[in-house]
Structure 1
Amino acid sequence: MEEPPLERSVRILLERGLVQVEGGFVFSRDLRINFKNIVRITLEQSLEIQSRIQASVLVVLGDKGFGATTGPELYPRKLASKLLQGYHDRNHTVVTVPGDHHVHLNDPEVVAPLVSDFLRTKVLSQHLPA
């Protein structure tokens, strides 16, 4: 029987994020990054920051990811829509694939070719001598 996606994600995250030590396990990353950011920025501030990005950007979205599965109070669709439109307007690459927020963990074979192609066509090609 195939493992449910959520359980698979948890297993992968724990395998990657835990280190066995004498007496048990410890997290191998700084847990402070899990704390909520109490300083919120506005949509306008987000768009301003986004407009300053000079590098090529690849956005890979799971069709069952944050925008599809969380309530509007957690991830407002308006915010997501405006930010994604900003990426489109600046000719960045936005791709939607089947999966949830952890599609890169659960189904790396779906995401890896997209990343490889993006790096080859958008990143490496810009840095190779003519």
Structure 2
Amino acid sequence: MPLKKLKVLDFSTLLPGPYATRQLADMGAEVLRIEAPNRPEITRDMPPFDEQGVNYIHSYLNRSKRSLGLDLKKASAVEVVKKLVKDYDIVVEQFRPGVMDRLGLGYETLKAINPGLIYCAITGYGQTGPYKSRPGHD
């Protein structure tokens, strides 16, 4: 597997980020999804479901990944991420611009902890410009 030495922290939801990190996982990267325990991933509730009630889309997008539930609005969860990022190569996030900074987990903060970190921010309308704060993806 060409990416078996890479470790990815995945803060994304829905389709764009999970699809990208699934591609990395399929090529051997270790992907750890950070999920909000009090707000389930939307794709978990979208039909179609298999015989056990598991969503096909969620299973497809998140195969080969591990998952950790953290409420990023809590300081203790932010500290967990800061410890984890020391040993990870890549962060993928899909929040609106500025959200990771407000959580205390923005690029500059994480780069100070791990100078070799690759930080990928996926947004519907980019990091700058008149539509940067609008939600959107795909």
Q: TM-score, normalised by structure 2?
A: 0.33
Decide which structure has greater helix share.
1
Which protein has the larger Cα radius of gyration, Structure 1 or Structure 2? 1
